[in-house]
Structure 1
Amino acid sequence: MRIDAHQHFWLYNAERDTWITEEMSLIRRNFLPNDISQTLKDNGFDGAVAVQADQSHAETKFLVELSQVYKMIKGVVGWVDLRSPHIGEYLEEFSKYPVIKGFRHIVEAEEDGDFLSRDEFLKGIEGLTKYNFTYDLLIRPVHYASTLECVRNNPEQKFMLDHIAKPPIKSQAFDEWALFIESLASFPNVYCKVSGLATEADWTNWRLDHFSPYIAHVLRCFGIRRTCFGSDWPVCLLAASYEQSIEIVSQIIGDYSVEEQQCFWGQNAVDFYQLT
């Protein structure tokens, strides 16, 4: 099965979706599975994982409802209030929906560098482990230390690093990010999505070679069997078409064996998220 492990869907709401700035006006509209389903087929994908874009329980329910209509959605990574004293009740309720595979918080928007290592958040992670839910890490450099602490303290929890930790591709800075990737990859319970790369580059002037050292480093550290592809559609459209998003990754992946490529393009995501 060939899987796009990172897509978003929304009914655009200007009051709610303030993260979509004027610079991002191209995606200030509705995006639903019908808008991408044929493109997925044309590129040989069997389905996708829908990932939250809004931090509300209503968002999680919205993605579940979409999955009941569109079979291309093989799994949902929703949002739940991990810091709530009622987290157990929330997870018990969400566990009734097999399509929900895990959760994510938009930590990159949190100014608190210790966000991921706070006691109330860690208790929420313990709840995810109990219910066998995954957790997607969306972070920036200020969160590197607390990310490592969170992962270190939760060896039984399955973590997925989104967008290879959003390296500074535009400036071509490398060392700080690379050291973090090497440290994080040392934990066997962490996987990594090779996703969202074009939007970290110069949106209008990127070249394929701008991405090569970052992708190669991730593959060197995590290995081909703990990495997977995600398009970050429709956000990727700000800088690259769907086909270009694939090409950015294909330039490096092409040297691997057929079996290894099958793992990267689908089987690893199937195993991590327990997709069917």
Structure 2
Amino acid sequence: MSSPTPLRLDAHQHFWRYRAADYPWIGEPEADLRRDFVPQDLRPLLDAAGLDGCIAVQARVGEQETDALLDMAQHYPWIFGVVGWVDLCNPTLEQHLERWRDRPRLKGFRHQIQDEPRPATFMADPNFSRGLQHLQQQGYVYEVLIRCADLDAATTMCQRHDRHHLVLDHLGKPDIANGPAGWAEHLAPLAALPHVSCKLSGLLTEAGPDQRSAHALRPFIELALELFGAERLMFGSDWPVCLLAGEYADTCQLLEQTLGHLSPSEHQAIWGGTAQRVYHLEGNCP
């Protein structure tokens, strides 16, 4: 059996039709995001970057988000996978998942754990744990969206759930201004878990205006490479959120400038191979 054709992918971006009530996390500092961002806006950016397609990730709470992203993926085959939303604490989770059983582009789920009042408590909730266990049994990826202060709690959670792939978004949102040492110390135990991968995404928006350069961010990327290895890292633009810090091309150039020394196989992993494997995208390739 031949291997699937390698894809070059943006493994983390969002689409939305903006309604203020749906996106409470978009505050006044993010006012430029208060408009629609749809597939037709992204496709030229992917083409310019030489990318075959993307994985669309949820940005609002509600099962209607999952439905909307899946509908987009049905119309735009270059949306190779969808990471949707579902309430893992719901005792009828199994029935809710059943409604998407015939939607093969649904690859996983995510919740904005970082926005919970007590993220560590949320991740330790037995109801959440039961839901995550069921997701893994069904073969769905779960993405972990937290800030660096909750890396230890995320490690404990991921240690308990090793039946399928887990993905850490945005390198765990390191505190760029404080340097990489403390962040890396707390990231290392999580990175040591072989079923956990990590997205090289979101760094530009986490950095302050004077830190948005390859020189300033190189230590974080190199430490992630050391801890995870290229085979568990994947590029993600975090578009359109990345537009708060620069252009789409800037997210690509950051990695190109910092990872130029890697081998062709390592480049292939980060620019699509890892995502293709973790999200089982082989069956979606055109």
TM-score (norm. length: structure 1): 0.96
Q: Report the Cα distance in structure 2 between the residues aligned to 1:7 and 1:49, rounded to whole angstroms.
A: 7
Q: Report the Cα distance in structure 1 between the residues aligned to 2:123 and 2:53, rounded to whole angstroms.
A: 30
Aligned match for 1:234, one of 237, 240, 262: 240
Residues 91 and 131, structure 1, Cα contact 8 Å, conserved in 2: no
1:144 is aligned to 2:151: yes
Residues 7 and 230, structure 1, Cα contact 8 Å, conserved in 2: yes
Q: Report the Cα distance in structure 1 between the residues aligned to 2:29 and 2:40, rounded to whole angstroms.
A: 25
1:259 is aligned to 2:253: no
1:193 is aligned to 2:199: yes
**Is the partner of 1:219 in helix, strand or coil?**
helix
Letter matched to residue 201 of structure 1: A
**Is the partner of 1:124 in helix, strand or coil?**
helix
**Is the partner of 1:191 in helix, strand or coil?**
strand
Identity %: 39
- CA offsets 1:224-244 (integer angstroms, 9 cap, x no match): 111010000000000011111
Query: How far did 1:145 drift?
Result: 2.6
* Corresponding residue of 1:183: 189
**Is the partner of 1:244 in helix, strand or coil?**
helix
* Corresponding residue of 1:167: 174
- CA offsets 1:165-199 (integer angstroms, 9 cap, x no match): 01111x13333311121110110000000001110
Query: How far did 1:204 drift?
Result: 6.3
Query: How far did 1:206 drift?
Result: 2.5
C-alpha RMSD of the superposition: 1.2
What are the residue-to-residue correspondences of 1:65-214 with 2, within 5 Å? 65-112=71-118, 113-169=120-176, 171-203=177-209, 206-214=212-220
* Corresponding residue of 2:57: 51
Query: How far did 1:72 drift?
Result: 1.7
* Corresponding residue of 1:222: 228
Q: Report the Cα distance in structure 2 between the residues aligned to 1:172 and 1:208, rounded to whole angstroms.
A: 17
* Corresponding residue of 2:4: none
**Is the partner of 1:5 in helix, strand or coil?**
strand
Residues 198 and 228, structure 2, Cα contact 8 Å, conserved in 1: yes
**Alpha-carbon spacing, 1:62–1:186, altered in 2? closer, same or farther (3 Å):** same
Query: How far did 1:203 drift?
Result: 3.6
Residues 107 and 138, structure 1, Cα contact 8 Å, conserved in 2: yes
**Is the partner of 1:15 in helix, strand or coil?**
helix
* Corresponding residue of 1:61: 67
Q: Which runs of 5+ in 1 are unaligned?
A: none
1:16 is aligned to 2:3: no
Q: Report the Cα distance in structure 2 between the residues aligned to 1:224 and 1:16, rounded to whole angstroms.
A: 35
Letter matched to residue 101 of structure 1: K
**Is the partner of 1:36 in helix, strand or coil?**
helix
Aligned match for 2:253, one of 236, 247, 250: 247
Q: Report the Cα distance in structure 2 between the residues aligned to 1:228 and 1:142, rounded to whole angstroms.
A: 22
Query: How far did 1:205 drift?
Result: 5.8
Letter matched to residue 196 of structure 1: G
How many equivalent pairs are there? 275
Query: How far did 1:93 drift?
Result: 2.1
TM-score (norm. length: structure 2): 0.93
**Alpha-carbon spacing, 1:46–1:3, altered in 2? closer, same or farther (3 Å):** same
Letter matched to residue 161 of structure 1: L
Letter matched to residue 110 of structure 1: E
Q: Report the Cα distance in structure 2 between the residues aligned to 1:130 and 1:17, rounded to whole angstroms.
A: 30
Letter matched to residue 158 of structure 1: H
Residues 59 and 79, structure 1, Cα contact 8 Å, conserved in 2: yes
Q: Report the Cα distance in structure 1 between the residues aligned to 2:13 and 2:209, rounded to whole angstroms.
A: 19
Of stretches 142-151 and 242-251 in structure 1, the one that deviates more from structure 2 is 142-151
Query: How far did 1:250 drift?
Result: 1.4
Q: Which runs of 5+ in 2 are unaligned?
A: 1-6
Query: How far did 1:63 drift?
Result: 0.2
Q: Report the Cα distance in structure 1 between the residues aligned to 2:149 and 2:207, rounded to whole angstroms.
A: 20
